[in-house]
Structures are given as structure tokens and as C-alpha cells.
A and B are shown apart, each in its own frame.
Chain A
Amino acid sequence: MKIHFLNPIIEFFTRNILNPIRRYFSLVEKELRVLLKDKIAMIITYIIPLIVVIMLSFDNSQIISTDSNQSIGFMQNEIPIIGIIDLDESDGFVDRDISSDLIHAFMEKEELGECELFQTYNYTILENRIGNGEINAFLVIPQLFEFNLSIHLPVILPFIVDSIDPLMFQASQMLVESVLNDFKSDPNNNFNGVFNIEEININLYEENQIFYASISTLIPLLLFSIGCLISSQSIVSDIPKDRMVLTPTNKFEMMAAKVTANFLIQIGVVLILVGSCFIIPLHIGSSWGEFLFIGAILSLNSVLLGVALSAIAKTPLSAFQLYIFLLIFQFVALFFVEDPAILNLLPIYNGNELITQVVLRGDSLWSARIFLQNIIFETGIVYFLSFTFFKIQKTML
């Protein structure tokens, strides 16, 4: 009697809760099998972050020197060609020609292979050469250079830089700054000016500076590109899905399973990235758990965006094209767009801020909540819209 009374409840529970859960897990298993079946694709998925991390960790040059006796290795492949013109004929120091000494300091850098020098007495030649890209910058030692220094006055050197090549611009500036700083602090000169500055860099690590500087951009970029790419094929390339709607499986379960399976694959990428950072080792301000959490959030976002693209696209090729549009748009916007209204919409930008502020700086997730909110809000809307689109899709039987 008792059993008979409970039967409808059990039946209801089985039909509406237990069976959907069973179906969901079976679908997740099926999706995982489909994904893992393409072994080469899976190997490439996990090899991409490894290759990027290895390439970056091999470059051990420093962006900011931690040892004042060593020159900075950063941009060592950019050898600027510096023009120099000495217009100074003034006297001020006994037995010394300061402008010649300064030129000599540049020549020493040339001997070390850190720059190429081009000396002339004609200003127009320098202007022409910089216009033709034959030199990257030129420095003018003005008249009264030595005299002004001798009477304890500061001197200003015009420094003309070719801004068409931003990397050479930076390399030229770094070289001139390094030569002038050494020249000013030389005990024979002591041209240190009014302010004798002692600089202290906090949170500066000797090892892996290039890796450290690039990781905040590369981790969100890698997670987005890999996660979104794989999941962008999940619906559009799934031919049996059209038959599956004839079974009790509904579209909500199908989509949830696709998101879950792709997310699980992505977690592997997160583990590889975080694990590589741990091995290298990357000095982080947050806990490794927070790092994993941020990686997981970014992965979920990328998977949902990919599934959304897959729901919208009519062919696998269209899905790829929509994906590349999203990827290139974000990549370009990250470097060149400065409008916060646009930037806040980009998962890679929000991820970049979360990695910089929470993982590297060690700020609390609470203080960086705006970026977390942006991602969660975006993820929710994208999931809802893509599900709606998937549900009303006419291609389904």
C-alpha cells in the first residue's frame, strides 16, 4: 500500500530529475569521447600553451636591470643606428673635451655591438637619413655644451627619433638613456643635476622578466583562442544532433553537455598553463587556487562564446570565420582601442586585468570584481542567447 502511494512520486522524480541527469552525464561522456577521438587535435590543444610558455621562458633577458653593473638584455636583437653631431666648440674644463668624451662613450657601446654610430657635421644629412630610415635616431651635442656644464648649468640635447618603427624608437631611447646615465654618474663628471635619485623597484624579479611581462596578455589570449576554437565546432559539426531530438533528450541537455565537455577539456589547458607557471616559477601575489579559479572562469567564458558561435553559424567554415573575427578583433582592440566601454566587453581584456591585478599584484578578487562581473555577466547573456538561438534553429528535425 505504502509503495503504491510512493509510486507516482518516484515516477515523477525519475522522469523529471533522475533521467535528465542520467541523460546529461551520458551526453557529456559522448561529447568527451567525440573530442578525445581526434587524438592529434587534442595533442595540439595541449601543445599550443606548452610551446608558447617554453618559447617565452627561454628568453631570460631583463626589461629592468636588477644589477646596475650589467647591461639590460631586453631588446638585444634591436641594434639601433644612432647619428651623432657635435656642434660644441666651447671650452670649460681644463685638459678635457667633454663633447668628445660623450662621443667616446657612444663609441664604446658601438664596440660592444649595442649600436651602430654615424657621425657627421651636417645636420641636413642626419634629417635626410632619418627620413629614409637609414638611421633610427640622432643626438645633437649643442653649442656651449661644455661651457654650460662647467658653470654648473644643465644642458639639453636635442634627440630626434624615427617613430615609424616603435621597437627601434624604444631601443634608441634605451641606449641613449643608458649612455647618458653612465656618463653623468662617472666620478670624473658627476653631472647628476639637482636631484640625486635613488630608484628602488618593488616586485622586480631577476629571472623570467619577459615571461612575467607577457603572461597577463598571453594567458587570456591562449585560453580564449583554444577554448572558443574547439567549442565553435561543437553544434555546427554535430550531425547526429538532428536525430537526437527524436529521443527524450532535449536541446537544453544537449547544449549543457557540450558546454560541460568542452569546459572539461579546457580545464586541462588551464592546468598546463598554471602548472608551467608553477614550474618556471612565476612569482604570483595571489594563491595558486585563485589563479586556477580565474583560469576556469576565462575558460568557461571562451567555451560559451564558442558554443554561441556554433549555434549561430550555418556551416563549420562560417563558425571558424566568426571565431577568427572575434579573435582578431579582440587582439587588435587590446593593443589599440582605449575606450573603456569597448574594452569592458572583451573577455581577453577583462582576463588581462584579472591576471595583472589579482594574480600578479595580489589584489583581492573583491577589488577587481568589476572585471569578474563583466565576464560573468557576458557569459550569462551569451549562454542564454545561444540557447535561445539553438532552440529555435530550423535545421533541427
Chain B
Amino acid sequence: MSEIFSEAKSRALRINSMIRQEINSLITDKTSIIIIFIIPLILICVLGFSTPRTDKFATTVWIIDEDNTSSSTQFIKSMQNITLDDGLMMGDIAPPMQVYKSGDIAPIEPKFGEKNASGIVSKKLANKTLSTKYLDAYIIIPKGYHDAIIENSSAMLIIYYDAIDFQKRFVVEGLIQIGLTQIQLNDMIFERDIFYFPESRPGNLLELNILDMAAPFFIPLMLFFSMQLITTQSIVGDIPLKRMLNTSLRRGEAVTGKLISYTIVGIIQIILTMILLKIFNVTMHCLWIDLFLVLLFNSIAGISMGIFISSISKTRLQASQLFLLTFFIMIVLQYFVRKPALLAFNVLEQGNIAYANLAFRGMILWNPKVRPHVFNTLLIAVVFYFLSVIYIKFIKKEFI
């Protein structure tokens, strides 16, 4: 029995000295320490001081009037004067829409050498300009519009959209829909129709700053990848480790030592991040400790994956490239491919959901809507930890 205790004690002592050595080497590299803490500081400050702007989605719509009647003129006037500040689309931050009618002078794509160019709005020019950035959609009011409105309270409109930029395509469609609704209300033209207007919950979400809106996505991502990148260099870049393994230090202890020492650095990074979030009044309807734990497990998963990458790499460059490969695979899976079976093992997705449920919904860590995501993150951390130990112990030639 005493032998077991003595073995455990000497093992703990070895891991302890490994941690101290690792933290000492990290602390002596002042640039590393500054960068680890500057990353959250700068990113959080940039997002915290940013306010939502919609100029990026400013749209241009041309109206080609083939009817030339009082009704079509009224339609164009109403479209030009639509107000987008009535909360119909993204609260009070709807992007501006510039409307030009047939015969107006509108900006078009300049030819080589020209600073700016403009042209007279016409169907032919609209067709030519639609695929450029100077026009997002054009509406044709066909002949007979006035008569149709008077006779049936219903008329045909043809809308051409530029579908190259999908995001802008949906924005301009939404803006035109708002315009058409307002025309009906202003001009008192009604026909049976079913409208729906989205109202968001929580209702004050649109009053948040960019940092608040981005936090569930950005905080786990930043902590995960910054810790993962640093740890990808932890074994491959540790020259004395090979000599140390000739001492009584075991391979598994080296991995554990690295995991714990980088976790300590991660804890300091998380505390700094949470203090900054508090300063910027980012929504946190949950216990601090719960959010801290979610972010901690997220960082540990990053560290654990980083150590594994470092174990299997032969050079520093390979390690960082494998990091990059992991980064792209995780991002593409999370934002583009989204296969549920794979998402369950994507730490970014798990961290994102757990963070949102804790901070915005005010849930606790043990809630069934948070617990599985935390469990999955921990599972990934444990799996990669054991994979690293196994690889270093049995496969890594340099260490055997």
C-alpha cells in the first residue's frame, strides 16, 4: 500500500515540476504572454466599441415605368419615400435603399479611366447594369398597371434580382417587400393577402452592441483557437523534452503536465475575457461560474487537440499547418456543411450553443439544454488527451 502511495506521490511531484517548468518557460517568453492576453483584449475592445452599421447592405433599386399613369407615378413616389425605421426589418437598423425611376440619372459602372459614370435609367441599361454592384434589383411596372389596380385591386409587377451576392439578394427582397406593404397602407389599396412580420425574442436583442450579438460565436472560437495554436507547438517545439524522457519522467506525465500548465494559462485568459465582457456590459443572465466552466472546457478541448497535433507533427510548420487544417474543417462544418452527426463533435458548435443557452436564456450548467454540449466538449478533450498519450508512448519514433 505504501508503495502505491509513494509511486503516486513521486508521479505527482514529477508532474508538478513539469508544470512549473512549462509555466516558467511560458512566463519568460514575454511576447507570448502579451499576445495571449492581447488577443482577447484587442478583439473584445474592437467589437465592444463597434456599433451596427448597415451601409454594407445599402441597396439600389431601379423602377422601370412602362405604364406612365398616375397610379404608377404614385407607386414610384411611395417606393422612393419608404421609411424603414418602423421595426419591420432588423429593428431600427434597416439598410438604406436608393430608388431611381425611368429617366433618372443613376450611377453605373465606370469605364477604364473614368472616375465615376452615370446613365439614364432604362430597361436596356438595367439589364446591363444588374450584374454589377451599381444595381441590386429592378422593378418593371408593366402596361395596364393602373387599369388592373382600379378594376381588380390587383396588378402584376416583375422584379429582377441580382443573385450573385445571396446575402444582398435577400436584403433587397426584404426591403422591396416592406416598400410594397407601405404602399398598400399609404395608398389604401387592399386585397386579400397574408402577411407575417417577425418579432424577435428576446425583444431587446437588437439594441445590443456587436460584441453582445457576436459573443456566443466569437468568445468560444477565440479562446479555443488561441489555446489550440499555442499548444500545437508544445511538444514539437520542446527540444529538451526528448532528453527529459530519459529521466524518470513518463510520457503520459509529460502530456498531463503540458495539459495542466496550458490550462492554467487558459484560466487566466478566460478570467481576463470575462472581466472585459463585464466591462462592456455583455449579456450574462447566468452564474459566472457556469459560464467560466463552459469556456474552460472549451479551452481544455482546444489545448488537448493542440497537444495531439503537436504529438503527431515532426516539425513546427507541420504542426501549425495541421492546426490550420483543423480550423478550416471545423469552420466549414459549422457554417456551411452542418451535418448533425459531425456537429455533435465540433467543439465550436458545442461551445456556441452552451454559451448562448447560459448567457442569453439564463440556464444553469446542469440544464438538459446545456449539459450534453458540455459533456461532448469534455469527451473530445478526453479522447484527444488519451490519443496524445498513446501516440507519444507507442508510436512517436523520436521518443521511443
* Chain A residues within CB distance 8 Å of chain B: 38, 40-41, 44-45, 47-48, 51-52, 55-56, 58-59, 63-64, 75, 77-78, 127, 130-133, 139, 148-150, 152-165, 167, 169, 173, 176-177, 180, 183-184, 191-204, 209-210, 213-214, 218, 222, 225-226, 229-230, 233, 237, 285, 313-318, 320-325, 328-329, 332-333, 335-340, 342, 356-357, 360-364, 366-367
Please, what's the 1-or-0 string for B19-39, where 1 marks a CB less than 8 Å from any CB in chain A? 000000000010110011011
B318 and A337 contacting across the interface, CB-CB below 8 Å: no
- 6 cross-chain CB contacts under 8 A: A44-B318, A55-B337, A133-B357, A321-B226, A329-B42, A361-B132
Interface window among B62-70, B240-248, B319-327: B319-327
**Which chain B residues numbered 153 to 200 have a C-beta less than 8 Å away from chain A?**
153-167, 169, 180, 184, 189-200
Per the bound structure, the CA–CA distance linking A230 and B324 in Å amounts to 11
- Closest Cβ of chain A: how far from B282's Cβ, in Å? 13
B133 and A363 contacting across the interface, CB-CB below 8 Å: yes
Residues in A neighbouring B337, C-beta threshold 8 A: 55-56, 58-59
A366 and B110 contacting across the interface, CB-CB below 8 Å: yes
Is B249 part of the contact surface with A, judged by Cβ < 8 Å?
A: no
B229 and A324 contacting across the interface, CB-CB below 8 Å: yes
Of B157, B325, B328, B340, chain A has the most CB atoms within 10 Å of the CB of B328
Residues in B neighbouring A56, C-beta threshold 8 A: 332, 336-337
Of B149, B159, B196, B333, chain A has the most CB atoms within 10 Å of the CB of B196
B35 and A201 contacting across the interface, CB-CB below 8 Å: no
- Closest Cβ of chain A: how far from B83's Cβ, in Å? 18
Per the bound structure, the CA–CA distance linking A363 and B47 in Å amounts to 32
In the A-B complex, list the 7 residue pairs whose CB atoms are closest, starting with the nearest: A193-B193, A163-B200, A204-B163, A338-B53, A321-B35, A154-B193, A318-B31
CB within 8 Å for A48 and B321 given contacts A202-B161, A222-B328:
yes
- Closest Cβ of chain A: how far from B161's Cβ, in Å? 5
- CB < 8 Å neighbour of B163 from A41, A202, A226: A202
Is B338 part of the contact surface with A, judged by Cβ < 8 Å?
A: yes
- Closest Cβ of chain A: how far from B45's Cβ, in Å? 11
Of A41, A159, A204, A324, chain B has the most CB atoms within 10 Å of the CB of A324
Residues in B neighbouring A285, C-beta threshold 8 A: 131, 164
B190 and A194 contacting across the interface, CB-CB below 8 Å: yes
Given contacts A59-B336, A203-B131, could you give 14 more A-B pairs where the C-beta distance is less than 8 Å? Answer: A51-B328, A52-B329, A55-B337, A154-B190, A158-B196, A159-B197, A164-B202, A213-B166, A314-B31, A321-B31, A321-B226, A332-B47, A342-B46, A363-B132
Residues in B neighbouring A322, C-beta threshold 8 A: 35
Of A184, A201, A313, chain B has the most CB atoms within 10 Å of the CB of A201
Is B56 part of the contact surface with A, judged by Cβ < 8 Å?
A: yes
B195 and A55 contacting across the interface, CB-CB below 8 Å: no
Is B386 part of the contact surface with A, judged by Cβ < 8 Å?
A: no
Of B113, B230, B327, chain A has the most CB atoms within 10 Å of the CB of B327
Per the bound structure, the CA–CA distance linking A77 and B334 in Å amounts to 11
A133 and B369 contacting across the interface, CB-CB below 8 Å: yes
B131 and A317 contacting across the interface, CB-CB below 8 Å: no
Residues in B neighbouring A367, C-beta threshold 8 A: 109-110, 132-133
**Which chain B residues numbered 315 to 357 have a C-beta less than 8 Å away from chain A?**
315-318, 320-322, 324-325, 327-329, 332-333, 335-340, 343, 353, 356-357
B159 and A199 contacting across the interface, CB-CB below 8 Å: yes
B110 and A165 contacting across the interface, CB-CB below 8 Å: no
* Chain B residues within CB distance 8 Å of chain A: 29, 31-32, 35-36, 38-39, 42-43, 46-47, 50, 52-56, 109-113, 130-133, 149, 153-167, 169, 180, 184, 189-202, 205-206, 210, 213-214, 216, 218, 221-222, 225-226, 229-230, 232-233, 237, 314-318, 320-322, 324-325, 327-329, 332-333, 335-340, 343, 353, 356-357, 360-361, 369
A338 and B360 contacting across the interface, CB-CB below 8 Å: no
CB within 8 Å for A77 and B338 given contacts A196-B155, A320-B320, A328-B39:
yes
- CB < 8 Å neighbour of A317 from B230, B325, B369: B230
A200 and B158 contacting across the interface, CB-CB below 8 Å: yes
A131 and B201 contacting across the interface, CB-CB below 8 Å: yes
Per the bound structure, the CA–CA distance linking A162 and B332 in Å amounts to 24
Residues in A neighbouring B38, C-beta threshold 8 A: 325
B237 and A194 contacting across the interface, CB-CB below 8 Å: no
B222 and A328 contacting across the interface, CB-CB below 8 Å: yes
- CB < 8 Å neighbour of B199 from A41, A160, A201, A356: A160
- Closest Cβ of chain B: how far from A217's Cβ, in Å? 9
- CB < 8 Å neighbour of A48 from B50, B158, B193, B324: B324
A203 and B163 contacting across the interface, CB-CB below 8 Å: yes
CB within 8 Å for A164 and B360 given contacts A56-B336, A153-B190, A338-B50:
yes
Residue of A nearest to B140 (CB): A198
Residues in A neighbouring B216, C-beta threshold 8 A: 164
A356 and B165 contacting across the interface, CB-CB below 8 Å: yes
- Closest Cβ of chain B: how far from A301's Cβ, in Å? 17
Residues in B neighbouring A200, C-beta threshold 8 A: 158-161
Per the bound structure, the CA–CA distance linking A229 and B161 in Å amounts to 39
B47 and A64 contacting across the interface, CB-CB below 8 Å: no
CB within 8 Å for A40 and B320 given contacts A194-B149, A336-B50, A367-B132:
no
CB within 8 Å for A335 and B214 given contacts A194-B154, A203-B163:
yes
- CB < 8 Å neighbour of A193 from B29, B47, B154: B154
Residues in B neighbouring A342, C-beta threshold 8 A: 46
A230 and B317 contacting across the interface, CB-CB below 8 Å: yes
Residue of B nearest to A58 (CB): B337
- Closest Cβ of chain A: how far from B253's Cβ, in Å? 23
Residue of B nearest to A285 (CB): B131
Residues in A neighbouring B161, C-beta threshold 8 A: 199-202
B157 and A164 contacting across the interface, CB-CB below 8 Å: no
A317 and B237 contacting across the interface, CB-CB below 8 Å: yes
Residues in B neighbouring A364, C-beta threshold 8 A: 109, 111-112
B329 and A192 contacting across the interface, CB-CB below 8 Å: no
Of A213, A226, A332, chain B has the most CB atoms within 10 Å of the CB of A332
A55 and B332 contacting across the interface, CB-CB below 8 Å: yes
- Closest Cβ of chain A: how far from B90's Cβ, in Å? 10
- Closest Cβ of chain A: how far from B79's Cβ, in Å? 12
A155 and B194 contacting across the interface, CB-CB below 8 Å: yes
Per the bound structure, the CA–CA distance linking A133 and B368 in Å amounts to 11
B163 and A156 contacting across the interface, CB-CB below 8 Å: no
CB within 8 Å for A194 and B159 given contacts A229-B324, A321-B32, A324-B225:
no
CB within 8 Å for A203 and B39 given contacts A56-B336, A193-B191:
no
B155 and A340 contacting across the interface, CB-CB below 8 Å: no
CB within 8 Å for A159 and B191 given contacts A164-B360, A328-B226, A338-B50:
no
A78 and B166 contacting across the interface, CB-CB below 8 Å: no
A51 and B39 contacting across the interface, CB-CB below 8 Å: no
- CB < 8 Å neighbour of A340 from B31, B55, B164, B210: B55
Residue of B nearest to A362 (CB): B131
Residues in B neighbouring A333, C-beta threshold 8 A: 46
A195 and B157 contacting across the interface, CB-CB below 8 Å: yes
Per the bound structure, the CA–CA distance linking A52 and B329 in Å amounts to 7
- CB < 8 Å neighbour of B53 from A218, A332, A339: A339
